[in-house]
Structure 1
Amino acid sequence: MNVGIITQARATSTRLPAKVLLTAAGRSYLEYHLERLTRTGLPVIVATTTNVDDDPIVILTEKLGLPVFRGSEEDVLSRFAGAASQYGLDAVVRVTSDCPLIDPEVVAAGVDRWRAEGDEGLYLSNCLERTYPRGMDYEVFSTARLLEADAQATLQADREHVTSYLHQNRAGDVRLLNLPWSGGGAQYRLTLDTEDDRQLLTALYEEYDAADRNCADLVAILDQHPELAALNAHIEQKKLGE
């Protein structure tokens, strides 16, 4: 079974424009993100938009030797469906490019569990219940389920947020499985959505060698340095439909 990672990226983010192209310690956050994903050993596809503003994302991705799919900016569900179909995936790992510190071992373990379950109707994730820091999130599901969602979803939120049709079980027959983590840190933000997030990530990359740290290492650093965690502790995550 051909399982591949699709990560969504665009330059027109509202809270922090072109955030994935910003840099820390001499490299863009998108480069860090993609390098981590390739460590899983799975194919990695960048799903961006047809907007000319996203040309730099395409150029950078192709420079790294990774495939790109360009689709709708607003209808992200159709973008994922198109990417999965074009690259012949049987199952998809969905991640987002604002997670430059995503742990490849965490993602790979999720894929292994999804395969072991042997159920193409299964939606598996580590964020149905928040036990990991934000920035470690992944979702795994069959392409058949993705294409079903693309064909059936009519709510704007489902088109924009890709997987809500699945994890809200709108079809009525999706099996949901959450893989929790006991390592703590669920209160932390290791994602890139605001300027305060960027300040934390920059400090981690430039002062704590974050590029070489796994999830447990990063949680330990934040536990030991509450002044770092305080940089973005006040940020509220956007909710479904916002």
Structure 2
Amino acid sequence: MKTVAIVQARMGSTRLPGKVLKDIGGRTMLARVIERTSRSKLIDRIVVATTTESVDEPVVAESTNLKVPIFRGSQEDVLDRYYRAAEEQDADPIVRITSDCPLVDPEVIDQVLALYRREMPDYASNVITRTFPLGLDVEVLSRDALARAWRLATKPFERAHVTPFIYQRPDRFRLAALRADQDYSKYRWTVDTPEDLEFVRAVYACLGVDGHFGWREILSLVEREPTLAAINRGVRQKALEEG
């Protein structure tokens, strides 16, 4: 069994089409996610999980260019895509990363993995109780938990978002939550709109296009330069049920 990070990525996006391949400091957003995830000390392998649709051929091409294994599966049933990718990779546990988080922090990934290894829950994350900025999301789940969700989840948003069936049922799954030292959830560091992309590009421009900076440095930057955080402050995060 291997600890495998599965990064879901596709070209479709209602608010920012093709966002996964948008340029951030000379590299695609997908490349930024992969390079930051690869700095984790506890992940054995990274896989990009995209769809079988022809529109996602550019995702396959970029993943190949990055020398990252690819799994292709259902467009809408992302839970099925994850389950089958995990089976193919003999992954346990699975680390869920999304391609719209180009500021994901390898240290946070390892903190969630350390929590998982210490407590051995079905599911561990820093999103059950959100205290980290949106965009640092890391979820770790056992293959058994993923298989149970795959078999039992029926609601469209549970299939589309992979893990709600698990973390919304603490009576059926053992959960573990990583919390920050204080509540930073007001910060939005994910990419779903042009304003989000503008913000992330500004962060890389300020802290270095090599990407060798952590979330604490980003925090210091936005606290020092509040105009940066204002770029995408008005963006509304979509509810899970909205897709």
- TM class, shorter-length: over 0.9
Q: Structure 1-normalised TM-score?
A: 0.95
Structure 1: 5+ residue stretches without partners: none
Deviations 1:51-103 (A, max 9, x none): 11111111111111111110111000000001000111121111111000100
Deviations 1:136-160 (A, max 9, x none): 0011110111011111111111111
Q: How does 1:72-111 map to 2 (within 5 A)?
A: 72-111=74-113
Q: How does 1:157-172 map to 2 (within 5 A)?
A: 157-169=157-169, 172=171
1:215 CA drift (Å): 0.7
Name the amino acid aligned to 1:204.
V
Equivalent residue, structure 2, for 1:192: 191
1:234 correspondence with 2:234: yes
Q: How does 1:90-239 map to 2 (within 5 A)?
A: 90-119=92-121, 122-169=122-169, 172-182=171-181, 185-209=184-208, 211-239=211-239
Equivalent residue, structure 1, for 2:8: 8
Whether the aligned pair in 1 keeps the contact of 2:131 and 2:184 (CA below 8 Å) is yes
1:64 to 56, 63, 66: 66
Deviations 1:109-141 (A, max 9, x none): 21122012134xx21110111211111001111
- Distance in 1 between the 2:186 and 2:50 partners? 29
Alignment identity in percent?
40
Name the amino acid aligned to 1:147.
A
Alpha carbons of 1:209 and 1:183: their partners in 2 closer, same or farther (altered >3 Å)?
Answer: farther
Secondary structure of the structure 1 residue equivalent to 2:240: coil
- Distance in 2 between the 1:16 and 1:24 partners? 14
CA RMSD of aligned residues (A): 1.3
- Distance in 1 between the 2:160 and 2:26 partners? 32
Name the amino acid aligned to 1:197.
D
Deviations 1:186-210 (A, max 9, x none): 2111111000001111111123326
Name the amino acid aligned to 1:45.
V
1:108 CA drift (Å): 1.1
Secondary structure of the structure 2 residue equivalent to 1:241: helix
Count of aligned pairs between the two proteins: 239
Name the amino acid aligned to 2:228.
L
Whether the aligned pair in 2 keeps the contact of 1:184 and 1:219 (CA below 8 Å) is no
- Distance in 1 between the 2:167 and 2:91 partners? 20
- Distance in 1 between the 2:150 and 2:175 partners? 19
Deviations 1:28-73 (A, max 9, x none): 1111110011111411111111111111111111111111110111
- Distance in 1 between the 2:196 and 2:115 partners? 31
- Distance in 2 between the 1:35 and 1:9 partners? 15
Structure 2: 5+ residue stretches without partners: none
- Distance in 2 between the 1:201 and 1:115 partners? 32
Equivalent residue, structure 2, for 1:24: 24
- Distance in 2 between the 1:150 and 1:62 partners? 28
Whether the aligned pair in 2 keeps the contact of 1:78 and 1:150 (CA below 8 Å) is yes
